[in-house]
Amino acid sequence: MSGCDSQKPETSKDNISSSSVDEGLPREFSHLSLSSSTSQDDVYNDKGHSENTLKNIHAYYHAQKLCDVVLIAGGNRVPAHKVVLASCSEYFAAMFTGSLREAELGEVTLERVDAHALQALVNYCYTGTIGIALFAERESCMALHKHAMEYTYQHFMQVVKHQEFLSLQPDQLALILKSDDLNVHSEENVFESLMTWVQHDSVNREQYLPVLLKLIKLPLLTSEYLIDKVESACGNVTECQKLIMEAVKWHLLPERRSNLSSNRTRPRTSTIGRLLAIGGMDGYKGACNMEMYDPRSNTWSPFMRMGARRLQFGVAVMQNKLIVVGGRDGLKTLNTVECFDLTSLTWSSLASMNTHRHGLGVAVLGDSPNSPVYAVGGHDGWIYLNSVERWDACSRTWSLVAPMTGARSTCGVAALRGKLYVVGGRDSGTCLRSVEVYDPSTNHWTTCAPMSKRRGGVSVCAAGGYLYALGGHEAPANVASVRLGCVERYDPSTDTWVLLAHLTVPRDAIGSCLLGDRIVAVGGYDGVQYLNIVELYDPETNTWRRLTPLSSGRAGAAIVAISTPRNVY
C-alpha cells in the first residue's frame, strides 16, 4: 500500500500501525480504512453486518459445519451451534453456560420433546421465522392454531415466500387453499402458489394436483389466463382437464351460470373489491361525502367528498373511474357530469348531457374499456322523461338513442346479458309495474313481463343472470305505510318474476349493487327516517343478513363496487 514501510512491521501490540493493519486485512474487510487521522469517536457502522452474519451462520448450520452439539429428540438428531441456541433461548443458555453436565457434552437428549417441534424451534433460532400453525397443530394447541391460520390467511402473499410453505403436507396446503379468507389480489395468486408448491418437488407432488386444483376458483380466472397458464401447466392431467372445461363453460355460457355455480365460482372475500356509498339524502341538505366498506373487516370508513352537491343523481363505474351524472343541487335539475378517478383521487368535468335530469337511472352496457354509459329517463324539473342518452367514451359526447315507450323517474336500471333493463319507477303521479328492455344492436325497446308490485323509488341489481328489484313504494311517496320490503327476481330466459325473501325493513330509495356474488342493499327511507341499514342477500338460502351499518342514515345513495388497490395487501 502506498506510504507503507517496506520493512516487516513490528509484531508488538504497542507498535502496530494503522497502515500495517490495513495491509493485513482480508479482502472482505478492505472497506474498513483505519487511518491515523481517525479519532476514537469515529465508528464505522455496517447496517447489514448482523443480518449477513446470521445468514452465514445459518449456512454453516444447514451444511452441518462447525456444529458443536447434537440435540436428540424422538430418535431424530439435530446438529447445531451452542452459541446460537444460547443466544436465542434462556433454556439453552442455562444448559450450555451453567454448571449442568450438558455444557460439556457433544450430544444432548431431550426427553418428552416432539422431534418436529424441536426442528422448527432450532430453525427459528437461525432464521427468526417459524411456521406457528404447523407447530401448534403438532402440539394440539387449537387456539394458537386458529390464530396462526388467521395470520396465514391475512398475510398469504408473504407466507408463500417462506420455506415453511414449500414444506407443507398436501392436506395442510388444502386447508389453506380452500379458505375464502385468503388475502390475495386475484385468484391468479392462489393458482401460482399451488404451482410453486408442486414444482418444488414435482416428482412426488404432481399426483396431488387434481385434488388441490379443485380448490382453485378457476372460473374466476380470465379466459386468457386459463388457456395460457392453467391449461399449459395442468392440461395433460385428465382430472384437471375437467376442471378447466368447467371454467371455460363459465366464460362461454353466461346464461347458464346459475346452473354452473359452485364453491369455485364464489370469489374470495379479498377479491370482490370494496363498496362505495356516494351521497344521498341524510335529512339535512343532502350527503356530499362517501363511505367505503371493507368486506374483510366488515367496517365502513370515511372516504372522499363529492365534487359538488347532488341529489337523485346516477353513477356508473368505468375503468376505475366514477361517472356521476345529473341530479339536483337543491335548487335546479342538472345536466352536468363529473368523473372521479379512483387512482389519483381527483375530480374532473365531462361533457354535459343534452337534457337536465334528476331521478334518472345510469348503467354501463358492456365490460370493455370504451363501453357506453346510458342515462335513462328521470325528471327535468317540469315533466317526466322517456328519453335516453348514451355517453361515447371515444368521442366524449352524449347522443340520444331510441326513447322508452313510457316516461318514468326513480326507476331501476341495470345491464344484463348485453341489454339494458328499466324497471318500475313513477310517471305523472303513478307508480309503475312495467319493465322495458333496450337492445343496442337494434336501438329498440321491448316490453317485458311486469312486476307483481307497483314500485316507485325501486332499486334494481343484476346478479347471476337475473334481475332483482328491491323495496320501493307503491303509492304517493309521502305515505309511510306503503314502503315495500318485498324483493322480486326476474328471469329473462322465461320472462317471469318470482317473489323472494323480504328485506328486514320495508323502505324505498335503497342503494344496491353486486359485491362478489352477493347483493348488498344499503340505506333507504322508511317514511319516517333515513336508514343506515346494510343487508346482504344469499341466493342459496334465500335470506338476508345484516352487515355493519353506515355511520349515518342516507337514502338514494349511489352504491358501487370498486376493485381493491394492490397496496393494501
The verdict on 538 and 510 lying in the same domain is yes
Residue 454 has pLDDT above 80, yes or no: yes
The verdict on 434 and 473 lying in the same domain is yes
Residue 142 has pLDDT above 70, yes or no: no
Residue 218 is predicted with a pLDDT of 95
The pLDDT confidence band at residue 1, using thresholds 50, 70 and 90, is very low
Give the CATH number, domain containing residue 53: 3.30.710.10
Give the CATH number, domain containing residue 423: 2.120.10.80
Residue ending a domain, choose from 130, 152, 170: 130
The verdict on 394 and 408 lying in the same domain is yes
Q: To the nearest 10°, the Cα dihedral for 16, 19, 23, 26? A: 80
* Tens-place pLDDT, residues 480-493: 558 999 999 999 99
Q: For 166-175, 333-342, 385-394, which range has the lowest pLDDT when averaged over its residues? A: 166-175
The verdict on 176 and 68 lying in the same domain is no
Residue 92 is predicted with a pLDDT of 86
The verdict on 314 and 267 lying in the same domain is no
Residue ending a domain, choose from 130, 155, 177: 130
* Cα–Cα nearest to 462, from 367, 335, 368: 367
The verdict on 35 and 70 lying in the same domain is no
Residue 335 is predicted with a pLDDT of 97
Residue ending a domain, choose from 130, 155, 172: 130
Question: Helices 49-62 and 115-127, interaxial angle, to 10°?
Answer: 150
Give percent of the chain with pLDDT exceeding 70.
Answer: 87
In terms of residue numbers, what domain contains 535?
Answer: 274-568
3-state secondary structure 39-53: CCCCCCCCCCHHHHH
Residue 339 is predicted with a pLDDT of 94
Q: Show the cell assigned to 538.
A: 344469499
The verdict on 395 and 470 lying in the same domain is yes
CA atoms within 13 A on the CB side of 466: 21
The verdict on 430 and 554 lying in the same domain is yes
Residue 137 is predicted with a pLDDT of 58
* Tens-place pLDDT, residues 240-263: 999 999 999 988 887 787 788 888
Q: What is the distance between the alpha carbons of residues 347 and 334, in angstroms, rounded to a whole number? A: 17
The pLDDT confidence band at residue 479, using thresholds 50, 70 and 90, is low
The verdict on 380 and 417 lying in the same domain is yes
The verdict on 400 and 515 lying in the same domain is yes
The pLDDT confidence band at residue 406, using thresholds 50, 70 and 90, is very high
CB 23 within 8 A of CB 12: no
- Please compute the mean of the pLDDT values over residues 382-390 and round it to a whole number: 96
Q: Show the cell assigned to 288.
A: 356530499
Structurally, how many domains does the chain consist of? Answer: 4
* Cα–Cα nearest to 60, from 71, 72, 49, 68: 68
The pLDDT confidence band at residue 369, using thresholds 50, 70 and 90, is confident
The verdict on 532 and 551 lying in the same domain is yes
Taking the alpha carbons of 280, 284, 285, 287 in that order, is the dihedral positive or negative?
Answer: negative
Residue 556 is predicted with a pLDDT of 93
Give the CATH number, domain containing residue 258: 1.25.40.420
CB 292 within 8 A of CB 285: no
CB 524 within 8 A of CB 517: no
The verdict on 33 and 89 lying in the same domain is no
3-state secondary structure 71-136: EEECCEEEEECHHHHHHHCHHHHHHHHCCCHHHHCCEEECCCCCHHHHHHHHHHHHHCCCCHHHHH
Q: What is the distance between the alpha carbons of residues 351 and 354, in angstroms, rounded to a whole number? A: 9
The pLDDT confidence band at residue 363, using thresholds 50, 70 and 90, is very high
40 CB-near residues (< 8 Å, 6+ apart): none
* Cα–Cα nearest to 291, from 506, 511, 439: 511
CB 194 within 8 A of CB 212: yes
Residue 41 has pLDDT above 50, yes or no: yes
